[in-house]
Structure 1
Amino acid sequence: MSYTLLIIVLPAIMFLILGLLGGKMKPIIAGTLGTLSLAVMTALSYFTAYEYFFRIGKGASGAYETLMAVEPYQWLKFTDKLHIDLGIMLDPISVMMLVVITTVSLMVHIYSLGYMKGEKGFQRYYAFLSLFSFSMLGLVVATNIFQMYIFWELVGVSSYSLISFYYTKPSAVAASKKAFIVTRFADLFFLVGILILSYYSGTFDFQTLTALDAPYLSSFVGASFLGISALTWAMLFIFMGGAGKSAMMPFHIWLPDAMEGPTPASALIHAATMVVAGVFLVARLFPIYLFGAPEVLTIIGYVGGITSVYAAIVACTQTDIKRVLAFSTISQIAYMITALGVSGYSGHDGLGYMASMFHLFTHAFFKALLFLGAGAIIHAVHSNEMDDMGGLKKFLPITHITFLIACLAIAGIPPFSGFFSKDEILAAALHHDKFLFACLFLGAGLTAFYMFRLYYRIFWNDTNKHYHHAPHEAGATMTIPLIILAVFSVFSGFVPFADFISADRMPFEAHIDMSVAISSVLVALLGIGIATAMYFKKTDMPDRVSNGVGNFYKWAYHKFYFDELWLFVTRKIIFNCISKPIAWFDHTIVDGFMNALAFVTNSTSDKIKGLQSGRIQQYAGVYLSGALVIVAVFAFCLVCYICGY
């Protein structure tokens, strides 16, 4: 399956072509080239999935095996065992991610042909899309954790470039810097975790690290810090890197501001690429977490559960439609993280792992559909604020229907895809941790509420609203991707996911837990009902409710002041208590010592520079004086020796 190398190489080549030569091309040519390359990659990804899952991926035992599509090439060697290799590894989750990334990326490429038409920097935008696709695809097929880290950082650079695409807007520049700094801060811990793990294990290789009989685990015995094993520290630090990328608390603050980038790029970042990298990382190293650091897996579950409720509550108060979807993304990614935290390894005990990957799969399509639908709405009314919308169903019929499908899918209403994957997560949580189940169950109701609050305020609510310019449906390049993603949002839940992806790679029969399914549908319907009562028609009920809960609404609207808390920590604590003393030491002690050396050197030079006057008589006199001093010292020593002194 060496042809899979093309899936990685094509976007890299396209990035170089569009980046270096795009300015000399017409925008339509640059966009068409980028889109065609993505179409080829998507076709290859689907063929790869067919080959792997239906022909050569399953071994004699019935479990799916790890295949090296491109044998690892040794790049950097540290020891005989410790070296960084570059290759392409195929296993169930990497093949699934190839399909998800290329499908969503292709839809974004096609959609952008219409949405970004006429934008300054159109070619640059498509170059960055290609770089983003290359980075994420390289990440998911990495053969070792350091190769993953390289592409992990490339994903960060790509997202920074896309978020700051409108670089003349101060808000876009600030948002891109915020995303870059927060994720770099988390990635520092990721790197430290990699170094600890590789130091004791002696390898970066995923197959060696995740083997159930991994002999390297014995090397961690006795290695601890503050009473916690080195392996636990390593896996905790690695998860912190994943939490940064996937915007889990407390590293979630960058994601809502990332909305400053073009809306199609937001779909790419929030649906199938950057934000699920942390989920993929935990899934990739899942055996180590489960058998080597189970306490960290517990922490992962609770971080996900708490984040899911927090983000859902905040989403209920936002008025910018893209920010609502951003907090929705945080909440849904938290569902996936929680599912991994409550998972076992084999059979139905590993339901959480399968459910997490299943929700990643279905979420990619309906969240991309929501963001692209939001782009079509913004394109029609030239505003992100819900207050500027209302009654758009008669102006945007295709966008209306596809957006409704996505809302039903994310709310978990059968038979839409989100119902099947979210139901499995709730079932896994119920049988593992009642608190986490309560968090996710509450999140399910809130999700249905805030999504239909969004839906009603955009398409219904103020049906008599008058627009300065009559909104109209977008062109085919924007509506066709909406229709395709809507089809995926309806039918992707019927994929027998447990037959293909599980923690132990053995297919198992998953079934719907009717008690969980019925209760989750009922709480979703309750959320939709409340949203209908409050927002189907324009009333004063939302104002009365927000006033009734008092300061809680204000806190939720301001995201519980996490941004202000981070500013306090960085400015008052890190800058004042840490950075300023270090700066004083650097300026006063280090610079002072170096300045003192320079002063002594200059002063000495001033004193002795007269010795190099260029006058031969002076040189002869100095030479003669020196010779006489040496002769006198020698004579004195000789006399002392003769006299016995």
Structure 2
Amino acid sequence: MNLLALTLFLPLLGWLLLAFSRGRLSENTSALIGVGSIGLAAASAAWVIAAFLGNPPADGAYSLTLWQWMSVEGLAPSFTLYLDGLSVTMLGVVTGVGFLIHLFASWYMRGEEGYSRFFAYTNLFIFSMLLLVLGDNLLVLFFGWEGVGLCSYLLIGFYYKHVPNGNAALKAFIVTRVGDVFLMIGLFLLFLNLGTLNIQELMVLAPQRYVAGDTWLWLATLMLLGGAVGKSAQLPLQTWLADAMAGPTPVSALIHAATMVTAGVYLIARTHGLFLLTPEILELVGIVGGVTLVLAGFAALVQTDIKRILAYSTMSQIGYMFLALGVGAWDAAIFHLMTHAFFKALLFLASGAVIHACHHEQNIFRMGGLWKKLPLAYASFVVGGAALAALPLLTAGFYSKDEILWEAFASGHNELLYAGLLGAFLTSIYTFRLIFIAFHGEQKTEAHAGHGIAHNLPLLVLIVLSTFIGAWITPPLAGVLPESAGHAGGEAKHSLELLSGLIAVSGIVVAALLFLGQRRVASAVAQSTPGRLLSALWFAAWGFDWLYDKLFVRPYLALCHLLRRDPIDRSIGLIPLLARGGNAALVHSENGQVRWYAASIAGGAVLVLAAILFLS
């Protein structure tokens, strides 16, 4: 198990080598270090996972203490790596999918300025995410949490010479920092009331010291949820995710599949014992997920940028995971997290292949007819899109999403079930709208297919994992997360599976009717008055950016304008101004004239006598 530490520090070593090379390394050397460090980390993680599953620890978990950090007034956190079924699952996803993305990036980023800088950032990204999922206490987790936030800022703004990219990176950084402040408050409250931030100790102490619904615990879990919605792009802090598409496409794959947006899901699952004691907040988790998945689904219906469509689909799929957490379907949430990593990485890498082949064109309406020119990218989109739409029996997404829908039904959360079914219908439509418009119809741009093992291998591996074969990988969560209510099934479960399968297929049929051929019906609907209004509303993602601009940005700018001369600073400046004025007055009074001095004495005496008479 000492290889666990190696798994963590190999990406850190890669970052150090690349960061201190100051761009002097060749592209081949940079790729060898950047991809090789993650590849070795993935191999080391595979060995650790195999050892863990082959010879599981007696208590179901393994701890490796690296060093004691500090000991101050009862706070004695250590850098300890904690490996159980949940962190094993996350370890495999982060290193395995992360390696495939790095390998593809070595092809995609060739010839780009800052090639070694790119891999330095992505190596640090993987290290931060591994620190987040392996840390045994919330303070170490928070270090990794902030690390992925920093790396997302650096990678989204990778093309820093373009102002919109820098603005998108700043937006992501600021919005996620809002969530991070909530998380910090939650950590303060937990330490204040329980005296520790060790996760396993918190799970033991919380039921002993709190009764269900305790106000302090209620507030602490609400703050944890605030941190989770920031990182995982859920309402109301979801606005950064679509703009994050300004970064290179492999960055989008890394953020959406292997790191960053899954952090909030992991946080809630890891601290599930606290949320079980606050059922109102757990209910809120499910509501946030259900509302987000529907709103994001409508937004994806009208987008024209291939990456923004996938971004809103990520927002929607993370909503499914929050919905699962909210209904107590803990294992289903993590199972969907894993399968989503497979097919979403596939879709983003395939979109990168399409964008690269089409000379960096991202508007799907300027593509068309690409299936003959880009057969591997087309196959990737068909398989990945089918998994995203949860096509029955054949795809990994079907098994994980249907588990969520069933457990929402079994737990009695019918409103969330309806939201999940509506989201499934929307997902099928927008996914195959993208495929039909970009790959079928009239060809509108020249395209040149990519080639080479770095291009082909990640896509082929992810194609396989996005089918039912990927669903065979069962996360080892028994004994780590609570059993959910919906494991028993029978005829009712099969009926729900049939219904959700029919909904997915019907969505594909609707997409085919609307977006294959001449698209007359789709054009007529889009040109109608209600169609234009809804399209504008959904294209703007329900106007949250406009609303936040009015509520927060404009008042902040107005306050800055009001304080541009800093009245506080000016008021403090009155003190030396009065001192100088008093000094000038006293200097003028010392004029050497005896009559002035005698008059001053007489006047002073009169004032003193008047004061005595007035006060007596």
Distance 1:149 1:547 in 2: 49
Amino acid at match of 2:61: T
**What is the match of residue 405 of structure 2?**
426
What secondary structure is seen at the aligned counterpart in 2 of 1:83? coil
The 8 Å contact of residues 407 and 484 in structure 2, kept in 1 or not, is answered as no
Distance 2:58 2:312 in 1: 38
Distance 2:217 2:327 in 1: 20
**What is the match of residue 227 of structure 2?**
241
Amino acid at match of 2:544: F
CA 1:366–1:119 in structure 2 vs 1: closer, same or farther (change >3 Å)? same
1:299 aligns with 2:276: no
Distance 2:366 2:189 in 1: 52
Post-superposition shift, 1:508? 11
**What is the match of residue 181 of structure 2?**
188
CA RMSD of aligned residues (A): 2.4
CA 1:286–1:471 in structure 2 vs 1: closer, same or farther (change >3 Å)? same
**What is the match of residue 559 of structure 1?**
541
What secondary structure is seen at the aligned counterpart in 1 of 2:94? helix
Among all aligned residue pairs of Structure 1 and Structure 2, give the percentage whose two residues are the same amino acid.
35
What secondary structure is seen at the aligned counterpart in 2 of 1:46? helix
The 8 Å contact of residues 299 and 541 in structure 2, kept in 1 or not, is answered as yes
**What is the match of residue 359 of structure 1?**
336
What is the correspondence of 1:360-439 to structure 2 with a 5 Å cutoff? 360-382=337-359, 383-413=361-391, 414-432=393-411, 433-439=413-419
Distance 1:242 1:326 in 2: 18
What secondary structure is seen at the aligned counterpart in 2 of 1:124? helix
- Per-residue CA deviation, residues 442-492 of structure 1 (Å, 9 max, x unaligned), is 001111111111111111122xx253x443234331121100111111111
**What is the match of residue 269 of structure 2?**
283
Question: Structure 1 stretches of 5 or more lacking a match?
Answer: 60-64, 224-228, 344-351, 610-645
Distance 1:608 1:88 in 2: 72
Distance 2:179 2:223 in 1: 9
- Per-residue CA deviation, residues 56-107 of structure 1 (Å, 9 max, x unaligned), is 2354xxxxx2320236x33233323x33321111111111101000111111
CA 1:300–1:523 in structure 2 vs 1: closer, same or farther (change >3 Å)? same
Distance 2:297 2:58 in 1: 39
Post-superposition shift, 1:555? 1.0
1:475 aligns with 2:470: no
Distance 2:314 2:515 in 1: 22
Distance 2:579 2:83 in 1: 63
Distance 1:332 1:170 in 2: 30
The 8 Å contact of residues 498 and 509 in structure 1, kept in 2 or not, is answered as no
**What is the match of residue 324 of structure 1?**
309
1:516 aligns with 2:496: yes
Distance 2:322 2:269 in 1: 9
What secondary structure is seen at the aligned counterpart in 2 of 1:87? strand
Distance 2:312 2:272 in 1: 26
- Per-residue CA deviation, residues 148-189 of structure 1 (Å, 9 max, x unaligned), is 111111110000000000001111001000000101111111
Distance 1:257 1:466 in 2: 26
CA 1:594–1:470 in structure 2 vs 1: closer, same or farther (change >3 Å)? closer
What secondary structure is seen at the aligned counterpart in 1 of 2:68? strand
The 8 Å contact of residues 228 and 267 in structure 2, kept in 1 or not, is answered as yes
**What is the match of residue 614 of structure 2?**
none
**What is the match of residue 16 of structure 2?**
16
What is the correspondence of 1:515-534 to structure 2 with a 5 Å cutoff? 515-534=495-514
Distance 1:119 1:301 in 2: 42
- TM-score computed with the length of structure 2 as normaliser: 0.89
Amino acid at match of 1:119: E
Question: Structure 2 stretches of 5 or more lacking a match?
Answer: 588-616
Distance 1:379 1:474 in 2: 11
Distance 1:230 1:436 in 2: 28
For these two proteins, the number of residue pairs brought into alignment is 580
Amino acid at match of 1:182: V
CA 1:395–1:26 in structure 2 vs 1: closer, same or farther (change >3 Å)? same
The 8 Å contact of residues 208 and 214 in structure 1, kept in 2 or not, is answered as no
The 8 Å contact of residues 500 and 507 in structure 1, kept in 2 or not, is answered as no
Amino acid at match of 2:69: W
Post-superposition shift, 1:604? 7.3
Distance 1:150 1:418 in 2: 32
CA 1:278–1:290 in structure 2 vs 1: closer, same or farther (change >3 Å)? same
What secondary structure is seen at the aligned counterpart in 2 of 1:248? coil
What is the correspondence of 1:167-178 to structure 2 with a 5 Å cutoff? 167-178=160-171
Distance 2:123 2:519 in 1: 46
**What is the match of residue 135 of structure 1?**
128
The 8 Å contact of residues 85 and 475 in structure 2, kept in 1 or not, is answered as no
**What is the match of residue 628 of structure 1?**
none
What is the correspondence of 1:535-614 to structure 2 with a 5 Å cutoff? 535-548=515-528, 549-550=530-531, 551-576=533-558, 583=563, 587-588=566-567, 590-600=568-578
The 8 Å contact of residues 398 and 473 in structure 1, kept in 2 or not, is answered as no
**What is the match of residue 450 of structure 1?**
430
Post-superposition shift, 1:300? 0.7
**What is the match of residue 210 of structure 1?**
203
Distance 1:499 1:128 in 2: 31
